[in-house]
A and B are shown apart, each in its own frame.
Chain A
Amino acid sequence: MSDHKVKIKINGTEICCNRGDTILKAARMAGVRIPTLCHDDRLEPYGGCRLCSVEVKGVPRLLPACTTPVARKMEVITESETITRIRKRIVSLMLSNHPNDCMRCEKAGECALQDLAYQYGVDGSEYGGERWDLPIRQANPFIVYDPNKCVTCGRCIRICNEVVMAGTIDWVGRGFHTYPDTAFRKPRSLSNCEFCGQCVSTCPTGALIDKKGRGKGRVNELTRVKTTCGYCGTGCNFFLNVKDGKVVKVTSDYDAPVNHGNLCIKGRYGYEFIHSADRIKTPLIRRGDSFHEATWDEALDLIADKFTGLIKKYGNKSVGAFSSSRCTNEENFLIAKFARTVFRNNNVDNCARV
């Protein structure tokens, strides 16, 4: 066994994993499921929700699988009476400070908290006690934040600071009154928010939701269509969420190889052009002072004629190709290839050149 491999036992079965891996990662690779809530593969491990607590032989307390690194000869138990009891306890404590209004919640059907409550069969009613009654934030065009639904997993904070690096939100308050917010609880729009919606994309509950898609359909009514963003050449993937032939919102594709579910404001919220009445749907040919709708064949024939004419008259160096940063990499590649093979020159450029 090489130096950077270690052998550990998970539920009695020996597995070989990489030194430096967490117990969670090792368990997943071995096909052992451990519930998580504050974990998102895009973020640094956090260990806050304690749902992934496991037993490690020789340690009197439970340890979080998401942050604990594996060690040689470690023996891990991922399911036991104690562990189940603790997980139930945690979920029911979460629900003891939650509005529990799934019936009218935007997130119902794709909410991690709802799934956990179902899995562990708890509702938090045994506690009573104080519940948050905080004002809902919606003084911006894109994001609705209902802190009362927040389970303080900290994912929004971490994605805003670790991935987006905008630093718009962080923890405010202490103890029971700890929750994510902007500095001095100002509206997001006044706190250098980029409105990338990354926080929305990672929130496991209905605390953060997209304002534009609100009330336009819940997960079981929507068809998800995977597509590539048309705004720039990075090639981020996401899902267009379609209901009755209309795009009602964009959601992350966490398995996307390029962006792992991350998006910027354009990809996530810039989809209204799709159904805009002003949208140009056919090529336009200018005759005199006005544009006339045409078919693609007409348009392409016209372009080919003009290019051939110019090259004949002035030589092949007189023309070039200038493409857009909104084209995909593949499209940009094709236009460059086109210039070199058809124009037989290197006159290629792109508007994103810096």
Chain B
Amino acid sequence: MPKSKKTPAVTSEKPSLKDITIRICMGTGGLAAGSREVMDAFHSELRSRNLKAAIINKCVTKTGCRGFCAKDVLVDVIISNAKTTYQFVDPEKAARIVEEHIINGRPVEEWVVGPEYHAFHNSETKILLKQCGEIDPEDINAYIAIGGYRGLEKALSQTPFEVREEVKSSGLRGRGGAGFPTGLKWEFCSMSKVAIKYLICNADEGDPGAFMDRAVIEGNPHSVLEGMIIAGYAIGAKKGFIYIRAEYPLAIERLKIAINAAEQKGFIGKDIIGSGFDFDISIKQGAGAFVCGEETALIASIEGKRGMPRSKPPFPVSKGLWGKPTVVNNVETLATIPVIMSQGAKWYSSIGTEKSKGTKIFALTGNIKNTGLIEVPLGISLREIIYDIGGGCDKGRRFKAVLTGGPSGGCIPESHIDMPVDYESLSEIGSMMGSGGMVVMDETSCMVDMAKFFLSFTTNESCGKCLPCRLGNKRLYEILNRITQGQGKAGDIEFLLSLAEDIKISSLCGLGQTAPNPVLSTIRFFRDEYEAHIYEHRCPAGVCKAFRKYLIDPEVCKMCGKCFKACKSGAVAWEKKQPAVIYREKCVKCGACYDVCPFGAIT
């Protein structure tokens, strides 16, 4: 990644095609934005200029997601090591880029990414995403060329005990949610005397808005495979499963290609690189239930049962898949292993805080300028993430809170924006790391409505097995709904708090235990908003429709007539140069006028 924010100087010499690389982002985000068409356009543009197809295929490469999906399709043109990145490329733009930049050596300045692209990437510390967006994920040689499978070689030259110790001393903690030390989990599993053991890579990734696991698999599938083989060796498993949701067809395809290639190279199968160690990997597709990301539900699902969690203990490390000791690790966790093996635990543990080592990928979404995937060292402050990388809230609005940890995480208010992002600090404040979702909310968000929104997700995704989650969260949701509808009662807040607390301590699995978090944390930090809804019958952010009066303030009204045009019920009366008026008897409270008024004249 060039640190210079300037585009390379115009070269007078015509470069030979050998020095040219065109890299096109082909992650699911890029593909959705049309990167395949862009790639075709580059191919045909180069071809129409009579250049040999073989060279063209080589110089136009596809890559995985590079994170900054808000600017897709992103295309790198690299001429003699000078890289120019274009944003929002579409097939029409390909011709001009080829003509002006590749043939004539003058980059098309107006389409080149702006400073925010570099700001987005420069504040990051990339370990896992480093190769995503740089190498062709469907080519094992590209991975080997950048040092791939060297971690495996090193691991196989050591004893499983030594490998476990290395991972233990790296301080790596599970990236799937709970943050359990990975080396310790491996040790527990290896202690079992049962001969058959299993390793499962958890690629279910059910958190709405989270797509880091997908990005890692699509961008660098071999890193996950390499991590799995090392993990298998360390715990004594000969069989690994990748549990991945069927909604990730591209990731599945790339995994299949990668597994095949790794088998052919002798990294998977019998007697891996002459070490005597055998390891196989199978893909198991899930039907996309959120709860199937929970390890015991995931195991039930692989066994062919309905994906429902079971009580722990016994933990999977002693009784897992088909009753055998099993390690379940997240994609990101496993993809980190080869790096730890090749670069050493000492190097890895130099990144991060005392108890939270290394980097973590977050999915930055919501009311923020730069949305996308970011990889940052743990311990970084929320402020750096939201302002330096995320660019602050969109449309110049004020930042209000950020929800970390996915739908069952907690809301962190502006007053805590300087807190470090690590496992302990997040759970202290009533949130969690989760899988790394970050939803940013600005002043236009109603916190009661937010809590209701996230709870509706977990309530619908509850597997229904245990009572506190199935009915408790449902009742919690109904009370929140009542409050947002203007039917809150005195005592509701206290009732919510006690019900939420009971659900947390008595639910069976992590889903139920954490589902009330958004409710608890919004009450903790935004109790005044709840009170405004219940006692003053108003929604401070103006989100909850039930509180709107649908009155036009003639003093504020600029007589533009937009509300008149928006109303489908004929309830707005307006004439040129007259303030508009809403007839209550005709108004159906749909909110159309409220949404279009540019001046906030409607309350």
Contacts and interface: CB of A to CB of B under 8 A. Distances in A.
Interface of A: 47-50, 53, 60-64, 67-69, 71, 82, 85-86, 89-90, 93-94, 96-97, 126-130, 151-152, 154, 170-171, 173-179
A227 to B, nearest CB: 37
Contact of B475 (A50, A93, A154, A174): A93
B346 interface: no
Given A170-B306, A171-B306, A93 B311 contact: no
B466 interface: yes
A90 B464 CA distance: 14
A174 B458 CA distance: 11
A6 to B, nearest CB: 14
Nearest to A64: B311
Interface in B454-490: 459-468, 470-472, 474-475, 478
A171 B464 contact: yes
Contacts of B313: 68-69, 71
B308 A171 contact: yes
19 contacts: A48-B467, A49-B467, A50-B466, A53-B506, A60-B505, A62-B505, A89-B502, A94-B471, A96-B475, A151-B467, A170-B306, A171-B308, A174-B289, A175-B462, A175-B470, A175-B474, A176-B459, A176-B471, A178-B462
Contacts of A151: 467
A61 B289 CA distance: 25
The 9 residue pairs across chains A and B that have the minimum distance between CB atoms:
A178-B464, A47-B311, A67-B311, A93-B471, A129-B478, A175-B462, A176-B474, A89-B502, A86-B506
B308 A47 contact: no
A86 B467 CA distance: 11
Given A61-B506, A129-B478, A152 B472 contact: no
Contact of A86 (B460, B505, B508): B505
Contact of B474 (A67, A89, A129): A129
A89 B311 contact: no
> Looking at A61, A86, A176, which has the most chain B CB atoms within 10 Å of its CB?
A176
B314 A69 contact: yes
Contacts of A71: 313
B513 interface: yes
A175 B470 CA distance: 5
Interface in B309-348: 310-311, 313-314
A154 B465 contact: yes
Contact of B311 (A63, A85, A90, A97): A63
B471 A96 contact: yes
Given A67-B311, A130-B478, A175-B474, A50 B508 contact: yes
Contacts of B289: 174
Nearest to A95: B471
Interface in B249-300: 289
Given A48-B466, A50-B466, A50-B468, A82 B311 contact: no
A60 B461 CA distance: 25
A176 B470 contact: yes
B475 to A, nearest CB: 5
Contacts of A69: 313-314
Given A49-B466, A50-B467, A68-B313, A93 B308 contact: no
Nearest to A60: B505
A304 B514 CA distance: 79
Given A47-B310, A60-B505, A96-B471, 11 more contacts: A47-B466, A47-B508, A64-B508, A69-B313, A86-B505, A126-B495, A127-B475, A128-B478, A174-B462, A174-B464, A178-B464
Contacts of A62: 505-506
A29 to B, nearest CB: 20
A173 B502 contact: no
B466 A174 contact: no
* Most chain A Cβ neighbours within 10 Å, of B467, B474, B495, B508: B467
Q: Which among A94, A97, A174 has the greatest number of chain B C-beta atoms within 10 A?
A: A174
A53 B504 CA distance: 13
B311 A68 contact: yes
Contacts of B513: 61
B460 A175 contact: yes
Given A67-B311, A129-B474, A90 B508 contact: no
Contacts of B507: 50
B312 to A, nearest CB: 9
A174 B474 CA distance: 12
B345 to A, nearest CB: 30
Contacts of B314: 69
Nearest to B291: A174
Contacts of B470: 152, 175-176, 178
Contacts of A178: 462-465, 470
B425 to A, nearest CB: 18
Nearest to B472: A93
A177 B474 CA distance: 10
A93 B503 CA distance: 11
A125 B466 CA distance: 20
Contacts of B504: 61
Nearest to B505: A61
A89 B470 CA distance: 13
A130 B474 contact: yes
A48 B470 CA distance: 10
